[in-house]
Amino acid sequence: MKPETFIVKNERRSANYKPNIWSYDYIESLTSKYTEEAYQRQIEKLIMKVTHVFYQARGMTKLRLIESMNNLCLSSLFDKEIRATLEVLQYDIGSYRDTLEVLQSDVDDIRGLKDDLEATALYFRLLRQYGYNVSQDIFIKFIDKTGAFSESLKTDINGVIQLYEASLLALHGENIMDKAKDFSEECLKDLNPNIDTSILKQVTRAMEHPLHWTVQWFWVRWQIDAYEHQIDKNPMLLELAKLNFNVIQAIHQRELQELSVWWKNLGLVQDISFSRDRLIESFLCAVGVAFEPHYANLRKCLTKVICFILIIDDLYDIYGSPEELDCFTRAVNRWDSKEIEHLPKSIKLCFSALQNTTNEIDQAIHKDRYWDGTLPSMRKAWADLLKAFLLEAQWFNKHFTPSLEEYLQSAWISSTCPLLSLITHLLGVDESAEEFVGKWKQKKNLIYCSSLISRLWNDIGTTDVELERGDAPSSIVCYMREANVSKDIAKGQIRGLITNAWKNINGELIERFPKNQASTNFVINIARLSHFLYHNGDEISNQDRKTKQLIQGLLIDPIAI
């Protein structure tokens, strides 16, 4: 059978993306003195000193120390000690009893603080964050006779901030936590703007980027600066945070330079002018999923996948004709270039590069994990993604607006979260191939909820531009037309769906942690990425927004020590 032929229009749509602002020569010229082994030895000495401080701390001091370790992205260095403390707080020392010196006085000291709002909220949040199902009833003492949180709490600003952060770890049906969110949100919105500057910064950060919804590493420099200005800071912990950041940044720089060479050698950018050239932003996203040094291979492969996601997304949204997209989808589904032999050069090059890069990732997995047979899983994930892309392109071409329910059935897949989750599991989880299959099935609901959040935040951030450009309908447009409401009301409804999805994720946290902490965090971090990238616009397409500053601070400029 001869391949079909058709006429492709010369006029194609354009998103008018701006050229890449990051010079690859500049990226490859970056250097850092923090690659020297002497700095790693210094980190190890500081870890020992901070560990001693940790064991000496009691009550609220210990809770705040754990919180600081999390905020400064040091918790993985003290994971054993933190978990031992939390186990004690749950009266289940278990295997820690014989390996760590944990005193019952920790429990007594912290229990004695339960009448304090800040301590109670922090206690609740930390335990929930680490997968312990502490009851919402610990907040009953703060509720007055009317059934509402006491008005007297409004003067305790630090306590209200902690209450708001804690409320975002609520489960479905927890009425007290819903009241906590409404109460704390109202208090923080009504704060006097003339309050202490440091507190105002904390309030603004909490409202815009609450800790549970935020990529930790994206805020680490902000948190280091905030901690440095705390009166009760620990100088050794601060020094460790700065040094650890600089050493990890140096590692990320080397990875980025390697990727820059790969991207240039791929030679794809010159032939796909319709798409975004966003290597450094793609790497930033990979760092957001897993910043720790030992996930280098994961970050590099994830970056390559994200680069291709952007290209193919633009192919389906902007550049390709209906016939071309149908052929490209079949080619990926069958993993066969014969399906696109008659298509333009740019599309054929895109498919060829996708095939080669996916095969390279398969080889990297085999080298890293000694696993065979991962290529079919990746091919299926790509095929599922492009089927969702194609359906949405068909909706656009037919001027069809689906119901919100119909839209979401496709949109959670087109969010790209299922594909990215698969890559993170194949390269970032320490388990056998047999264990992987079982655990992957168990994470279906977690992946769906993270995918939903990713898609909905993307829609919130890009709807205005896409409406002007005439792109396929988003969840907001679908709900606007289905319910006959304004854009603002529709956005409010979509934000409500995001909150509900987070409650489902919180349930998964309790069910999955601490056994599957790394793999669970990978998936959740993909949702957190979308919150950062799209909650106030499109930070991937527009390089001159806050993403530029973040790249400069995270990947280029070290912290002065």
User: Tell me: the pLDDT tens digits for 357-380?
Assistant: 999 999 988 887 777 778 999 999
- Which pLDDT does position 7 carry in this prediction? 37
Are the beta carbons of 383 and 331 closer than 8 angstroms? Answer: no
In the chain, % of residues over pLDDT 90: 70
- Which pLDDT does position 106 carry in this prediction? 52
Residue 488 has pLDDT above 50, yes or no: yes
3-state secondary structure at position 89: helix
- Which pLDDT does position 262 carry in this prediction? 96
- Phi and psi angles of residue 524, each rounded to the nearest 5 degrees, phi first: -65, -35
- Find the mean pLDDT for residues 446-468: 89
Please give, one letter per residue, the 3-state secondary structure of 464-482: HHHHHHCCCCCHHHHHHHH
- Pick the more confident residue, 10 or 385: 385
Residue 101 has pLDDT above 60, yes or no: no
Residue 185 has pLDDT above 90, yes or no: yes
Please give, one letter per residue, the 3-state secondary structure of 220-283: HHHHHHHHHCCCCCCHHHHHHHHHHHHHHHHHHHHHHHHHHHHHHHHCCHHHCCCCCCCHHHHH
- Which pLDDT does position 375 carry in this prediction? 92
Task: Indicate the residue type of 321.
Answer: S
Go through the domains of the chain in sequence order and give each one's CATH number. Answer: 56-239 (1.50.10.130), 267-556 (1.10.600.10)
**CA dist 222 → 72, 124, 171, 225, 228 (Å):** 9, 24, 29, 5, 10
- Pick the more confident residue, 431 or 403: 403
Task: Indicate the residue type of 407.
Answer: Y
CA-only gyration radius of the chain, Å: 25
3-state secondary structure at position 160: helix
**CA dist 362 → 299, 332, 378, 494, 539 (Å):** 14, 16, 8, 37, 30
- Which pLDDT does position 103 carry in this prediction? 42
